[in-house]
């Protein structure tokens, strides 16, 4: 079953087409990779899916529902979570609070109950804390629960961001360059983590990544963007040998991607 | 945490300094509350100067009832809550016997109930709103109330100057200005004159060209402008610039050397009502003007004169009462009569049943860069 | 659970009763306590908007003015009528009921205005929001200046004196509890997350507009209540109490106390209530010294005195625990 | 109709003053992201410096104007050095509060020093009134507009054509990169304050000439309104500040002429809020989509 279907999606910034007539889909439980040279419009695609940018035209259908006109928080509530290229943690708050904020939509007590500190409020707070603990333990961050997020080492910040995204209880997870800035060892760990998340939580993942190793290893299918257009689509080994892709990367003297 | 404790300790010290009164024996304490900072600071400072000078003169002559007067001057920044704080502080911490203030009627209306509740005499030098003294029997004022000055000027313009149409330019932010304008209008139309245009400005504005352009278009023979000198100067200048040549006129708010300084030639031929004329041969007026000039380097304005009188009135009442008890001072204040009035700089004062002063006014013309006496009007 | 409420209500009654007892105090001291309480309500409510939701608002005096003028106008023009409607109650109880209702209406009116102003302006960010809220405050002031029914520029006298320290304590506690209970809850974390990173917050499924407006409305409500208390204490309102500087003063309280700290707000309110009084002796120099102290504090401690931390019994417990721990490790 | 033209002419004079003050706001904001609330008071200080130069020391008008501008520039540099620079890394709101503190301090020091009552400004340029039909124009109005426009062009030239201007633009664009390019940021910031302050001082002197009334509190309202003008035009953009200033000046005069002078002070803010709702970055401001 196709969980997300994007058709004819376009988006422009001041005359420049950032994304042009893009069509793609994601199957349930799939890990889809999006690659492409810098400025190809990958992150823009994420921003369009999560509702931060309004599309010029086109449709985004999530679980049979059009979402391209919804607000970001509504989209999150439908079950799409994301991370950011540069981690956007709640820097001054503790690790625990970061995760609990993400559970806001799951556990919502009426504001009056909150003011009166009713029994429902206390119960829900307890449940929320318990669930947050589970998630933190899963991501090996529970020991760090009282640390201020910005004091964590970089790798843990990235992990926390994924943990936080998972706390929103998503069906579809969008990861924007999760391995950026990681050393090969950390990247390897990340690969394991991502596949593990998929299996454990039964979710679908779309991944933007520059680390070819990561992409090739865990993605079942890859689409390649250049100048906002899809230039290739297929299994990792097909992409690896696609001349158009090689040209798109090498033709522009980008950093060597295929390491 | 240590730092926090230090801060709390410091605050504790400040707070305790605040509540425990510093007692100095053997003086009569009198409080004064004026807006000596803030938007109408210029009036507050003049008023404070008048009061300061009065008490210094009294103290130089040995004080009153054998003790010196201690003036405790408070600034209220022209804010209601500050007036309340200052008043409570003067009454409860400094234990003053009387309070002089405030300049503006709105602030005097905050001050009056506090003084009345604690039965402390209050004399406002300049608040014209009739409501102020109606708060209670401890509240007095030293200035005219609005109806008198407005009517006086209307009579003068219509009968003496024989000008049959006038415009009114009023400071809407001021009780004083609005009151004067209202009574001027009533009296003037009753006499048969016609108000051709009414415009307004806010105190402290600097651009009046918009209103003046409209006044010019209505072609009045006279413009009644009952504001304070700080605004009058620029208004006159801008009016002349725009080619309005008719005379302007106003009330005692015009009385200040600043007016002539700012307006210069633009003020020539204008008229205003006042308490006294600096030309007056009265020795009291002459010495007051001379001493004030010596002390503060400028000619006193009406506010300074009125607050000087308010202070002197208080001293006189203490003398008459033979006591510095507030209730006795109050009784002494109401005991002034037409035959035995208080003779001050701004005229002879006694009070009506609402504790408003009854005194006469003079009309002054600005001529040759000077204030020239024109007429006296009895109440 | 029930016992907890009972305890709370008992504590509130005790504190309000304390306010009655305080009438025996020096009236000057009493008045400072009243203003401290009112300023604390203002500071805490602005802190919810500025310190917790991170929305830079400097129009709080506007909400205070709206609530103050609205409840005062009710008291002046309809007070007697409503009190006589309640003639089956003893007079002082009728007065209390009517005052409570009017105060509440003033707060609600202010909150509604907060909603109307908040929805469009809260889309603005940072300094743009600041200048828009500043503009709102000025528009309120100028509107009042032009409303003859509340005296316009000449002030609004004749308001009955109803506020006393008990009332102030009561509303202070309500404000404190409401803001604390919101902040330490899922809703509160949602509000704080907006301050930290609005985009991430939105990505977490938080309706940021809703929470920003909510914080704004609650802030406006309590500012309105504070305005009503202020008016019914002074018995006279004047637009000069609600200038831009009033908003700045409230902002100062929360910055001095530390943004995002409830106890900091109360401390900041204390400093800014007492400091000008302590400086009264300087008359002409007073404001000069005041501004120098202000600049000095900012240069020495830019993050505010509490620096976003709370001072509560809990902290004492924590410190105590840490000291204990240290001792234990040392003894080992 | 003549009335309208007359009012618009008056509005242009007022607007050019707002524009001059707004320029300083916009420059400082562009570089430090600070709403420099003390700027209105520097305008006031400028007026007083002009007052002393023209009245006490009897300088000629152009020299007096230059003296006031220079004096205010020094003042601006001092304020930046001692009150703002130590806080450059502190939370922005503390910086803002400090700016308000400086503003209080300047006002109250001046009240202490020269008193609060308004002073007449030395009328160095004799008034000449020209009549065009029923419309009145004075030589002072012409001087105000000419001086303001000259200064604005001069500023545009400095910012766009000189090396210093380039450095200023670089710092406002990205402080860290500018630092790496070897630009002395402190110097550039000082210079920005100097230029902004001297423009405000020029406005102060011109206002003295125009309204013939100066006092220590004269900077409060014009300061706020000039900031509104800067935001209106798009803060950080120099032509925007000028545009905003003129719009505000004309709107205010028209409102006090045809509606009521008492609502005039609200006009600036009503216009501001309306424009911000339509164009959240001001009239000339480019709407930057927040980068996600």
CATH number for the domain including D130? 1.10.3470
**Token couple for B353:** 């049943």
Smallest Cα–Cα separation from B346: which of B361, B368, B324, B364?
A: B361
Q: How confident is the model at residue A252 (pLDDT cuts 50, 70, 90)?
A: low
Percent of chain A with pLDDT over 70: 95
Q: Is D287 part of any domain?
A: no
Cα–Cα distances in angstroms (integers) from residue C48 to residues A176, C42, C223, C307, D97, in the given order? 33, 10, 11, 15, 18
Q: What is the mean pLDDT of residues D128-140?
A: 83
Q: Is D290 part of any domain?
A: no
- The number of C-alpha atoms within 13 Å of C332 and in the hemisphere containing its C-beta is 5
Q: How confident is the model at residue D130 (pLDDT cuts 50, 70, 90)?
A: confident
Smallest Cα–Cα separation from D45: which of D69, D62, D18?
A: D69
Whether residue C275 and residue B17 make contact (CB cut-off 8 A), yes or no, is no
Of D115, D211, D261, the CB nearest to B234: D211
- The number of C-alpha atoms within 13 Å of B80 and in the hemisphere containing its C-beta is 28
- Give chain A positions within 8 Å (CB) of D292: 43, 47, 52-53, 84
What pLDDT shows up at residue B42? 85
Instruction: Establish if B340 touches chain C: CB-CB under 8 angstroms.
Output: no
Cα–Cα distances in angstroms (integers) from residue C302 to residues B227, C151, C246, C272, D88, in the given order? 45, 41, 21, 16, 10
**Would you say the C-alpha torsion B185, B188, B189, B193 has a positive or negative sign?**
negative
Percent of chain B with pLDDT over 70: 93
Smallest Cα–Cα separation from D145: which of D16, D259, D5?
A: D16
In tens, the pLDDT along C20-30 reads 888 788 888 89
Percent of chain A with pLDDT over 90: 26
- Kindly tell me if the per-residue pLDDT of B24 is higher than 60: no
- Kindly tell me if the per-residue pLDDT of A255 is higher than 70: no
Q: Are C199 and A52 in contact (CB under 8 A)?
A: yes
What pLDDT shows up at residue D146? 92
Of D14, D111, D212, the CB nearest to B37: D111
Q: State how many domains chain D has.
A: 1
Q: How confident is the model at residue B3 (pLDDT cuts 50, 70, 90)?
A: low
- Kindly tell me if the per-residue pLDDT of B165 is higher than 80: yes
Angle (deg, nearest 10), helices D238-258 and B209-218: 30
Of C127, C142, C259, the CB nearest to D265: C142
Q: How confident is the model at residue C108 (pLDDT cuts 50, 70, 90)?
A: very high
Q: Which is higher by pLDDT, C284 or B10?
A: C284
Distance between CA atoms of residues B198 and B237, nearest Å? 19
Of B252, B274, B296, the one marking the end of a domain is: B274
In chain D, the residue whose alpha carbon lies closest to the alpha carbon of A176 is D292
Which structural domain range is residue D223 located in?
2-278
**Token couple for C293:** 């102290």
Least confident range of B88-92, C53-57, D259-263:
D259-263
Whether residue C139 and residue D281 make contact (CB cut-off 8 A), yes or no, is no
Which structural domain range is residue C64 located in?
28-244
Q: Is D291 part of any domain?
A: no
Percent of chain C with pLDDT over 70: 92
Q: Is D57 part of any domain?
A: yes
- Kindly tell me if the per-residue pLDDT of B372 is higher than 50: yes
Q: Which is higher by pLDDT, C195 or B263?
A: C195
Would you call A8 helix, strand, or coil by DSSP?
A: strand
Does B76 share its domain with B114? yes
Q: What is the mean pLDDT of residues C126-139?
A: 90
Chains touching C (3+ CB pairs < 8 Å): A, B, D
What pLDDT shows up at residue C331? 52
In chain B, the residue whose alpha carbon lies closest to the alpha carbon of C235 is B110
Q: Is B259 part of any domain?
A: yes
- Kindly tell me if the per-residue pLDDT of C110 is higher than 70: yes
Instruction: Establish if D287 touches chain C: CB-CB under 8 angstroms.
Output: no
Q: State how many domains chain B has.
A: 2
Least confident range of A214-218, B162-166, D248-252:
A214-218
Whether residue C203 and residue A82 make contact (CB cut-off 8 A), yes or no, is yes
Element (H, E) at B198: strand B194-201
Does B133 share its domain with B152? no
Cα–Cα distances in angstroms (integers) from residue A249 to residues A36, A246, A257, B7, in the given order? 7, 5, 8, 62
Which residues lie below 8 Å from residue D95, measured CB to CB, with a gap of 6+? C302, D32, D34, D84, D87, D88
Does B112 share its domain with B226? no
C-alpha A221 chain-centroid distance: 16
Which structural domain range is residue B155 located in?
147-274
D8 by Cβ neighbours in 10 Å (0-12 / 13-18 / 19+) ranks as middle
Whether residue C278 and residue B14 make contact (CB cut-off 8 A), yes or no, is yes
Q: Is B6 part of any domain?
A: no
In tens, the pLDDT along B290-307 reads 999 999 888 888 889 999
Least confident range of B76-80, B208-212, C301-305:
C301-305
Distance between CA atoms of residues D197 and B300, nearest Å? 36
Whether residue B233 and residue D129 make contact (CB cut-off 8 A), yes or no, is no
In chain C, the residue whose alpha carbon lies closest to the alpha carbon of D94 is C302
What pLDDT shows up at residue C314? 53
The full set of domains in chain A, from first to last, is: 1-79+172-259 (3.40.50.300), 85-169 (3.40.50.300)
- Kindly tell me if the per-residue pLDDT of D159 is higher than 50: yes
- How far B42 CA sits from the closest chain D CA (Å)? 4
Q: How confident is the model at residue C35 (pLDDT cuts 50, 70, 90)?
A: very high
Whether residue B93 and residue C26 make contact (CB cut-off 8 A), yes or no, is yes
- How far C304 CA sits from the closest chain A CA (Å)? 16
Distance between CA atoms of residues B264 and B19, nearest Å? 50
Q: How many CB atoms lie within 10 A of CB D165?
A: 18
What pLDDT shows up at residue C320? 59
What pLDDT shows up at residue D212? 83
Q: Are B105 and B129 in contact (CB under 8 A)?
A: yes
Q: What is the mean pLDDT of residues C103-116?
A: 96
- How far B129 CA sits from the closest chain D CA (Å)? 21
- Kindly tell me if the per-residue pLDDT of C99 is higher than 90: yes
Q: Is B370 part of any domain?
A: no
Does B260 share its domain with B297? no
**Token couple for C223:** 């500012």
Q: Are C57 and C49 in contact (CB under 8 A)?
A: yes
- Kindly tell me if the per-residue pLDDT of B20 is higher than 60: no
Q: What is the mean pLDDT of residues A80-84?
A: 92
What pLDDT shows up at residue C321? 63
- Give chain C positions within 8 Å (CB) of A111: 182, 187, 214
Which residues lie below 8 Å from residue A18, measured CB to CB, with a gap of 6+? A11, A12, A41, A44, A228
Q: Is B286 part of any domain?
A: yes
Q: How confident is the model at residue A259 (pLDDT cuts 50, 70, 90)?
A: very low
Least confident range of A83-97, A219-233, B155-169, D115-129:
D115-129
What pLDDT shows up at residue B114? 93
Q: Is B199 part of any domain?
A: yes
| CB contact residues (below 8 A), chain A span 80-139, against chain D | 84
What pLDDT shows up at residue B281? 76
- The number of C-alpha atoms within 13 Å of D141 and in the hemisphere containing its C-beta is 22
- Give chain D positions within 8 Å (CB) of B44: 116
Q: Is C54 part of any domain?
A: yes
Q: Is D54 part of any domain?
A: yes
Q: Which is higher by pLDDT, D2 or A218?
A: A218
DSSP character at residue A139 = T
Q: Which is higher by pLDDT, D45 or B12?
A: D45
In tens, the pLDDT along A205-243 reads 999 988 787 888 888 899 998 888 888 888 888 888 888
In chain C, the residue whose alpha carbon lies closest to the alpha carbon of A117 is C181
What pLDDT shows up at residue C148? 85
Q: What is the mean pLDDT of residues C50-62?
A: 92
Q: Are B363 and B275 in contact (CB under 8 A)?
A: no
C157, C231, C301, best to mutate vs chain B, most B CBs in 10 Å: C157
Q: Are A29 and A204 in contact (CB under 8 A)?
A: yes
Distance between CA atoms of residues B336 and B142, nearest Å? 13
Distance between CA atoms of residues B271 and B226, nearest Å? 11
What pLDDT shows up at residue C332? 47
What pLDDT shows up at residue A54? 87
Q: What is the mean pLDDT of residues B244-270?
A: 87
Does B353 share its domain with B294? yes
Q: State how many domains chain C has.
A: 1
In tens, the pLDDT along B200-227 reads 888 877 788 888 888 988 899 999 999 8
Does B98 share its domain with B153? no
Q: How confident is the model at residue C1 (pLDDT cuts 50, 70, 90)?
A: very low
Least confident range of A120-124, B266-270, C182-186, D65-69:
A120-124
- Residue A32 φ/ψ region, left for φ over 0, alpha for ψ in the -120 to 50 degree band, beta for the rest: beta
- Give chain B positions within 8 Å (CB) of D264: 202
What pLDDT shows up at residue A257? 45
Alpha helices in D33-90 (DSSP H): 39-51, 61-79
Task: Measure the CA angle with vertex C30, ends C274 and B26; round to 5°.
Answer: 85
């Amino acid at each position: 079953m196709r969980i997300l279907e994007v058709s004819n999606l376009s988006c422009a910034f001041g005359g420049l087409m950032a994304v042009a007539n893009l069509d793609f889909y994601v199957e349930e439980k799939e890990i889809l990779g999006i690659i492409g040279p810098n400025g190809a419009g990958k992150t823009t695609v994420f921003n369009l899916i999560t509702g931060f940018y309004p599309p010029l035209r086109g449709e985004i259908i999530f679980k049979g529902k059009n979402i391209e006109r919804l607000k970001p928080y509504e989209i999150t509530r439908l079950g799409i979570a994301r991370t950011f290229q540069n981690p956007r943690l709640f820097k001054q708050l503790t690790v625990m609070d970061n995760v609990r904020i993400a559970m806001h939509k799951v556990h919502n007590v009426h504001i009056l109950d909150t003011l009166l500190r009713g029994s429902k409020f206390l119960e829900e707070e307890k449940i929320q804390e318990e669930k947050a603990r589970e998630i933190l333990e899963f991501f090996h961050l529970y020991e760090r629960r009282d640390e201020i997020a910005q004091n964590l080492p970089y790798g843990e910040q990235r992990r926390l961001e994924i943990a936080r995204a998972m706390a929103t209880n998503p069906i579809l997870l969008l990861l924007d360059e999760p391995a950026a800035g990681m050393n090969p060892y950390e990247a390897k760990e990340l690969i394991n983590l991502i596949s593990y998340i998929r299996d454990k939580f039964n979710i679908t993942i779309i991944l933007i990544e520059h680390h070819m190793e990561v992409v090739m290893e865990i993605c079942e299918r890859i689409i390649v963007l250049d100048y906002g257009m899809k230039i290739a689509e297929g299994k990792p080994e097909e992409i690896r040998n696609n001349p158009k892709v090689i040209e798109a990367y090498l033709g522009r003297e980008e950093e060597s991607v295929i390491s | 945490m240590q730092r926090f404790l230090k801060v709390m300790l410091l605050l504790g010290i400040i707070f305790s300094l605040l509540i425990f009164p510093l007692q100095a024996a053997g003086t009569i304490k009198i409080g004064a509350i004026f807006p000596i900072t803030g938007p109408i600071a210029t009036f507050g400072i003049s008023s404070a100067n008048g009061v300061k000078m009065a008490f210094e003169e009294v103290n130089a002559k040995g004080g009153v009832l054998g003790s010196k007067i201690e003036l405790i001057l408070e600034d209220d920044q022209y804010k209601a809550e500050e007036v309340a704080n200052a008043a409570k502080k003067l009454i409860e911490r400094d234990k003053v016997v009387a309070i002089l203030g405030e300049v503006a009627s709105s602030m005097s209306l905050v001050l009056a109930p506090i003084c009345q509740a604690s039965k402390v005499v209050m004399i406002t030098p300049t608040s014209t709103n009739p409501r102020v003294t109606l708060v209670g029997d401890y509240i007095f004022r030293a200035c005219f109330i609005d109806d008198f000055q407005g009517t006086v000027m209307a009579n003068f313009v219509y009968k003496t100057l024989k000008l049959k149409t006038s415009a009114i330019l009023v400071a809407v932010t001021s009780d004083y200005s609005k009151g004067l304008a209202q009574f001027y209008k009533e009296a003037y139309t009753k006499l048969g004159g016609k108000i051709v245009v009414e415009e307004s400005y806010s105190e402290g504005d600097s651009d009046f060209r918009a209103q003046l352009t409209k006044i010019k278009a209505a072609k009045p023979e006279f413009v009644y402008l009952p504001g304070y000198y700080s605004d009058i100067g620029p208004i006159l200048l801008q009016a002349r610039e725009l080619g309005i040549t008719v005379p302007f006129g106003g009330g005692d708010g015009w009385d200040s050397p600043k007016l002539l300084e700012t307006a210069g030639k633009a003020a020539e031929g204008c008229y205003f009502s006042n308490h006294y004329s600096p030309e007056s041969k009265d020795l009291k007026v002459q010495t007051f003007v001379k001493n004030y000039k010596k002390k503060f380097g400028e000619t006193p304005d009406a506010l300074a004169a009125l607050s000087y009188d308010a202070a002197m009135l208080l001293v006189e009442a203490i003398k008459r009462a033979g006591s510095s008890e507030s209730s006795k001072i109050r009784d002494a204040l109401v005991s002034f009569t037409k035959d035995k009035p208080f003779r001050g700089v701004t005229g002879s004062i006694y009070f009506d049943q609402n504790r408003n002063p009854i005194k006469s006014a003079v009309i002054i013309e600005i001529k040759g860069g000077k204030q020239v006496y024109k007429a006296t009007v009895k109440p | 659970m029930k016992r907890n409420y009972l305890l709370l209500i008992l504590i509130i009654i005790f504190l309000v009763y304390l306010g009655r007892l305080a009438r025996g105090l020096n009236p000057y001291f009493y008045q400072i306590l009243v203003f401290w309480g009112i300023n604390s309500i203002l500071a805490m409510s602005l802190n919810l908007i500025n310190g917790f939701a991170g929305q830079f608002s400097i129009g709080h005096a506007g909400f205070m003015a709206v609530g103050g003028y609205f409840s005062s106008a009710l008291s002046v023009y309809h007070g007697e009528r409503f009190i006589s409607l309640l003639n089956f109650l003893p007079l002082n109880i009728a007065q209390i009921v009517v005052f409570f209702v009017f105060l509440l209406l003033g707060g609600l009116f202010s909150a509604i205005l907060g909603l109307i102003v908040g929805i469009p302006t809260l889309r603005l960010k940072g300094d743009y929001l600041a200048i828009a809220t500043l503009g709102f405050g000025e528009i309120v002031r100028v509107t009042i200046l032009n409303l003859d029914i509340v005296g316009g520029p000449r002030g609004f006298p004749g308001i009955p004196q109803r506020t006393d320290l008990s009332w102030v304590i009561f509303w202070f506690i309500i404000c404190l509890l409401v803001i604390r209970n919101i902040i330490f809850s899922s809703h509160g974390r949602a509000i704080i997350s907006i301050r930290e990173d609005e985009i991430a917050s939105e990505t977490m499924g938080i309706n940021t507009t809703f929470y920003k407006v909510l914080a704004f409305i609650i802030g406006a409500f309590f500012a309105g209540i504070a305005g009503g208390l202020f008016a019914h204490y002074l018995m006279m309102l004047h637009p000069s109490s609600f200038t831009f500087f009033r908003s700045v003063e409230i902002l100062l309280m929360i910055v001095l106390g530390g943004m995002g700290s409830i106890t900091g707000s109360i401390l900041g309110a204390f400093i800014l209530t007492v400091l000008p009084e302590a400086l009264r002796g300087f008359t002409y120099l007073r404001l000069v010294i005041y501004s120098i102290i202000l600049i000095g504090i900012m240069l020495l401690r830019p993050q505010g005195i509490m620096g976003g931390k709370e001072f509560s019994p809990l902290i004492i417990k924590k410190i105590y625990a840490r000291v204990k721990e240290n001792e234990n490790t040392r003894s080992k | 109709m003549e009335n309208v033209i007359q009012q618009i002419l008056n509005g242009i004079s007022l607007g050019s003053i707002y524009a001059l003050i707004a320029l300083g706001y916009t420059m400082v904001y562009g570089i430090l992201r600070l709403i420099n609330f003390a700027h209105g008071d520097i305008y006031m200080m400028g007026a007083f410096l002009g007052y002393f130069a023209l009245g006490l020391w009897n300088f000629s008008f152009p020299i007096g104007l230059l003296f006031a501008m220079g004096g205010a520039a020094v003042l601006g540099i001092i304020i930046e050095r001692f009150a703002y620079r130590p806080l450059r890394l502190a939370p922005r709101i503390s910086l803002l509060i400090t700016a308000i503190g400086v503003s209080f301090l300047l006002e109250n020091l001046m009240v202490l020093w020269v008193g609060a009552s308004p002073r007449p400004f030395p009328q160095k340029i004799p008034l000449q009134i020209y009549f065009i039909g029923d419309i009145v124009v004075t030589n002072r109005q012409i001087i105000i507009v000419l001086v303001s426009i000259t200064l604005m062009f001069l500023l545009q030239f400095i910012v766009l054509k000189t090396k210093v201007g380039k450095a200023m633009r670089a710092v406002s664009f990205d402080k860290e990169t500018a630092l790496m390019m070897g630009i002395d940021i402190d110097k550039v910031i000082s210079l920005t304050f100097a230029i902004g302050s001297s423009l405000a001082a020029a406005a102060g002197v011109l206002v003295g000439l125009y309204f013939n009334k100066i006092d220590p509190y004269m900077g409060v309202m014009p300061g706020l309104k000039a900031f509104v003008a800067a935001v209106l035009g798009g803060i950080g953009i120099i032509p925007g500040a000028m545009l905003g200033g003129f719009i505000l000046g004309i709107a205010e005069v028209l409102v006090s002429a045809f509606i009521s002078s008492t609502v005039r002070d609200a006009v600036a803010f009503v216009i501001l809020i309306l424009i911000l709702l339509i164009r959240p970055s001001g009239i000339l401001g480019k709407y930057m989509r927040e980068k996600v």
